[in-house]
Chains A and B, each alone.
Chain A
């Protein structure tokens, strides 16, 4: 997916200006000329100049506003792409309540299905991978992965 350089440049220019405006509210360091605002101000200034240059450079090309690659135009691949992001969000939001094992199984089955693995096969891989990752991180490395709904049968 290629977005027009001028569009990206424009958005970044706005971001840089927002940072420049925001750092004006930083308090000065007592007794010194260079407070916490000095460095971000400098960098944001640089970003503003560079993104303005990119915007200007982009305006002189005949690049289309948005080019969507072959991959993203195929519904099957677009779905897989969306499922990756959705499953990460799902994991973040629900892993405390549902627990790691349930979440990992759901994520793995959904993703393998989206990537075109046969459902039965995907299920087997999901179970094996989940148990392996759980054993490695929970048992071996002592990471407190949440049990969630499986708390009563925690091992």
Chain B
């Protein structure tokens, strides 16, 4: 209990509250502007949070991402352009409502059910994380090895429809993670005599490059033209209470599925929204109404994508294994702030953990007033010329990546990873496995080598402990299960696979 009080007093300071408010506004802005994603919001915030104490830094990131995921619904509903990928699943549906003159209902659903989903995910985080940490404290290198393997496996096989390309980007990420002195033998690997590479590839500039610079590059060659929206938006909250009473099961289902998808490593809010929209349609009594401006799917998927955000923090805090690309960046920040994630943080610094929980609750509540205000000014936000915005974001990235170590070498890293991520995505390679590979490579190697030394090279020792065996079985199941599915799909679809992938 004393930790809770301590956590509350850590959060209830002007620095934390102001940074949450400002980053909330920033998140709303980034989310509402099409082409700027929630992950990009996080990546752009990192250089700023670098200079903040740990609690306001985390407060800023949590708030900004929660707002950005909701705000992505706004251009989705008004222009049929998802503001963030997490809103793509249902933007046809909400746009259909807008065309019927019920735009405010669609936006209200996005706002209210984002808040409910976010709070549900937070509740699971609060209950599950400490309990999991108690189990995790007994884990040895064998369990950690399998846990990381499972996380990377999920990232490759569950989140992408081209597992082979996912395996390739994962391997590239793991190899990049090998660069530098920081390995069990402390031998400078792949540095080619460069002093800048001794410490390894800097994670933060690499991530800003992959999530922001690549988006700028994509923007410059996009041929999409965006429309504008001028109509007045009515009362946002009207009728929402009725929807809560009408769709309690859908709300709960969306929140549960979203949280679960969030907890799975590698899969985040966008995945959660797609899956729960599909599930809502499948289980609905009136599936024929979906796509015609029917609120049911919006309720479920709107709750799902925000609950996934909190869910993703469970493995991030307990094991240091990110649940999605946003928490991958967050883990980088936690290490920078000496708040190393893992079960020990729950014992050594429980007040920090409770502070994170408090921030989550606050951020989701703050969403209601901020989101309301954002919807009110949305017509103006959507008219913002992105060709002015993107150059500013680029300069911000240049300065931000320099600011981490005051090194121009990091700006090279930014550019290289930005171009590489752009090229890979153009060619259908998923980027998330690469990020997880860079981040988790060290952990995987350390636990692998330690386990090999402990067992004297006997691979059977990897599955001798019960939990390790369970995790191993689960990992192999995902490998073989996906392999089997891919084979079956190939048989049914034949050579048309490539035609299905857009250029």
Cα–Cα, bound, A72→B222 (Å): 9
Is B395 touching A78 in the complex (CB atoms < 8 A)?
no
Is B415 touching A92 in the complex (CB atoms < 8 A)?
yes
Is B171 touching A50 in the complex (CB atoms < 8 A)?
yes
Cα–Cα, bound, A61→B175 (Å): 29
Does A147 count as interface, using CB distance less than 8 angstroms? no
Query: Smallest Cβ distance from B417 to chain A, in angstroms?
Result: 12
Cα–Cα, bound, A95→B171 (Å): 34
Does A102 count as interface, using CB distance less than 8 angstroms? no
Query: Smallest Cβ distance from B458 to chain A, in angstroms?
Result: 11
Is B223 touching A84 in the complex (CB atoms < 8 A)?
no
Cα–Cα, bound, A5→B453 (Å): 39
Is B403 touching A2 in the complex (CB atoms < 8 A)?
no
Does B387 count as interface, using CB distance less than 8 angstroms? yes
Does B391 count as interface, using CB distance less than 8 angstroms? yes
Is B391 touching A36 in the complex (CB atoms < 8 A)?
no
Query: Smallest Cβ distance from A61 to chain B, in angstroms?
Result: 5
Total interface residues on A, using CB and 8 Å? Answer: 78
Cα–Cα, bound, A74→B503 (Å): 16
Is A108 touching B395 in the complex (CB atoms < 8 A)?
yes
Query: Smallest Cβ distance from B362 to chain A, in angstroms?
Result: 24
Taking chain A's interface residues, is the majority helix, strand, or loop, or is none over half, making it mixed? helix
Is A1 touching B392 in the complex (CB atoms < 8 A)?
no
Residue ID in chain A nearest B386 by CB atoms: A115
Q: A1-B426, A47-B175, A112-B388 are in contact. Are A84 and B449 (CB under 8 A)?
A: no
Residue ID in chain B nearest A113 by CB atoms: B391
Contact check: which of A2, A77, A83, A143 meets B402 at CB < 8 Å? Answer: A143
Taking chain B's interface residues, is the majority helix, strand, or loop, or is none over half, making it mixed? helix
Contacts of A47 in B (CB 8 A): 168, 171-172, 175
Cα–Cα, bound, A72→B422 (Å): 13
Cα–Cα, bound, A50→B172 (Å): 11
Most chain A beta-carbon neighbours within 10 Å: one of B402, B419, B428: B402
Does A14 count as interface, using CB distance less than 8 angstroms? no
Does A85 count as interface, using CB distance less than 8 angstroms? yes
Contact check: which of B185, B387, B390, B391 meets A29 at CB < 8 Å? Answer: B185
Residue ID in chain B nearest A122 by CB atoms: B388
Contacts of B171 in A (CB 8 A): 16, 43-44, 46-47, 50
B-contacting residues, A23-77, CB 8 Å? 23, 26-27, 29, 32-36, 38-40, 43-44, 46-47, 50-51, 53-54, 57, 60-63, 67, 69-72, 74, 77
- Mark contacts of A95-119 with chain B using CB atoms, 8 A cut-off: 1 yes-contact digit, 0 otherwise: 1100010001001100110111100
Q: A26-B189, A84-B394 are in contact. Are A70 and B223 (CB under 8 A)?
A: yes
Contact check: which of B223, B387, B423, B449 meets A117 at CB < 8 Å? Answer: B387
- Mark contacts of B441-469 with chain A using CB atoms, 8 A cut-off: 1 yes-contact digit, 0 otherwise: 00011001100110001000000000000
Does A152 count as interface, using CB distance less than 8 angstroms? no
Is B406 touching A143 in the complex (CB atoms < 8 A)?
yes
Query: Smallest Cβ distance from A93 to chain B, in angstroms?
Result: 9
Residue ID in chain A nearest B188 by CB atoms: A36
Contacts of B414 in A (CB 8 A): 88
Does B135 count as interface, using CB distance less than 8 angstroms? no
Contact check: which of B174, B187, B222, B503 meets A43 at CB < 8 Å? Answer: B174
Is A80 touching B175 in the complex (CB atoms < 8 A)?
no
Does B312 count as interface, using CB distance less than 8 angstroms? no
Does A17 count as interface, using CB distance less than 8 angstroms? no
Is B394 touching A77 in the complex (CB atoms < 8 A)?
no
Cα–Cα, bound, A23→B185 (Å): 13
- Mark contacts of B154-173 with chain A using CB atoms, 8 A cut-off: 1 yes-contact digit, 0 otherwise: 00000000001101100110
Is B503 touching A69 in the complex (CB atoms < 8 A)?
yes
Can you list 23 A-B pairs with a CB-CB distance of less than 8 A?
A: A2-B427, A2-B503, A26-B189, A32-B453, A33-B452, A33-B457, A34-B453, A36-B185, A38-B449, A40-B190, A60-B495, A78-B221, A85-B419, A88-B213, A92-B412, A95-B408, A96-B408, A108-B395, A111-B390, A115-B388, A117-B385, A137-B403, A145-B402
Other A-B pairs, 20, CB within 8 Å; known A2-B426, A84-B216, A145-B402: A2-B427, A5-B427, A8-B427, A23-B189, A32-B453, A33-B453, A38-B449, A40-B189, A43-B171, A71-B222, A71-B223, A84-B213, A88-B415, A88-B418, A108-B395, A111-B391, A117-B387, A125-B392, A141-B48, A143-B403
A-contacting residues of B (Cβ < 8 Å)?
Answer: 47-48, 50-51, 164-165, 167-168, 171-172, 174-175, 178, 183-185, 187, 189-190, 213, 216-217, 220-223, 385, 387-388, 390-392, 394-396, 398-399, 402-403, 406, 408, 411-412, 414-415, 418-419, 423, 426-428, 444-445, 448-449, 452-453, 457, 495, 497-498, 503
